[in-house]
Amino acid sequence: MKLLTAAFLNSAMLIGTAALALPPLFFKPAEVVSATNAQYPPNSIAEGVVVLDVSLTERGQVVEVGALRDIPSLTSAAASEVQSWRFKPASQDGMVQASAMTVAFVYRPPVSVWKPPSFTPALPNPGSSTNAYMPAGIVSVGYAEYPVNSVVSGAVVVQVTVDDSGKIERVKVIRKMAGFTGFALRAVKQWRFQPAQLEGQPVASNVAIAFVFARPNLNPF
């Protein structure tokens, strides 16, 4: 009996050791492939940051868009715009899967001297996560300066890779805009994030940010 018990314990220890030795799951977050040139909604006088929780299928298609931070007259425009973006789906151990991504739209009025609106953290709802994945949250933001004497409008879109501690690992420009890209890149350095989670563990993720600049009013009278 003692021999059987010892054999059982040894087997259990071997199984436990083998389980501990299993390599961790390799997760690759979803990313933006291309983005359209977002425009400031016509006749809107609102400003600030809209934050969206974008759910993606295993093919990278947008299936649902929720608002983590809502600004009337701007949120619907941002949600509509992101529908036309192209995404690469997330994968785990080489297998594509449904996931989600945090996308922010920063609507900047065409003035050089500007007092930005206050920002409260935009954090994903754990109950709405996809496949035990919760995308990154945005804790604080920075606003881009407006180029002096500019007469154009449009958007600079960047993708920020956030590591598992919430720090910015790298920034990739998805859509450039002459005269504006540098201002957007400087502003991104001020942003702070809450890391994404997969099955309760922090993981690296991507966050997309569209800096949308309004066209100056050239005929104010």
Q: Which tokens hold the place of 101?
A: 């991504």
Amino acid in position 133:
Y
Domains: count for the chain: 1
Q: Which range marks the domain in which residue 82 is found?
A: 26-213
Q: Is residue 14 included in any domain, yes or no?
A: no
SS3 letters across the chain = CHHHHHHHHHHHHHHHHHHHHCCCCCEECCEEEECCCCCCCCCCCCCEEEEEEEEECCCCCEEEEEEEECCCCCHHHHHHHHCCCEEECEEECCEEECEEEEEEEEEECCCCCCCCCCCCCECCCHHHCECCEECCEEEECCCCCCCCCCCCCEEEEEEEEECCCCCEEEEEEEECCCCCHHHHHHHHCCCEEECEEECCEEECEEEEEEEEECCCCCCCC
**Strand 99-108 and strand 205-213: pairing?**
parallel
Q: Is residue 135 included in any domain, yes or no?
A: yes
What is residue 22's predicted lDDT score, i.e. its pLDDT? 40
Q: Is residue 2 included in any domain, yes or no?
A: no
What is residue 116's predicted lDDT score, i.e. its pLDDT? 85
Q: Which tokens hold the place of 183?
A: 């201002």
Q: Is residue 219 included in any domain, yes or no?
A: no
pLDDT tens over the chain, length 221 residues: 544 444 444 544 444 444 443 445 689 999 999 999 999 998 888 899 999 999 999 999 999 999 999 999 999 999 999 999 999 999 999 999 999 999 999 998 887 677 888 999 999 987 655 568 999 999 999 999 888 777 788 999 999 999 999 999 999 999 999 999 999 999 999 999 999 999 999 999 999 999 999 887 644 43
Q: Is residue 13 included in any domain, yes or no?
A: no
Q: Is residue 200 included in any domain, yes or no?
A: yes
C-alpha–C-alpha distance, residues 153 and 71, integer Å:
20
Q: Which tokens hold the place of 20?
A: 């501990």
Give the chain's largest Cα–Cα span: 98
pTM for this entry? 0.85
Q: Which tokens hold the place of 155?
A: 């958007």
Q: What CATH number did the domain enclosing 184 receive?
A: 3.30.2420.10
What is residue 112's predicted lDDT score, i.e. its pLDDT? 67
Q: Can you give the length of the chain in residues?
A: 221
What is residue 110's predicted lDDT score, i.e. its pLDDT? 80
Q: Is residue 202 included in any domain, yes or no?
A: yes
Q: Is residue 17 included in any domain, yes or no?
A: no
What is residue 18's predicted lDDT score, i.e. its pLDDT? 42
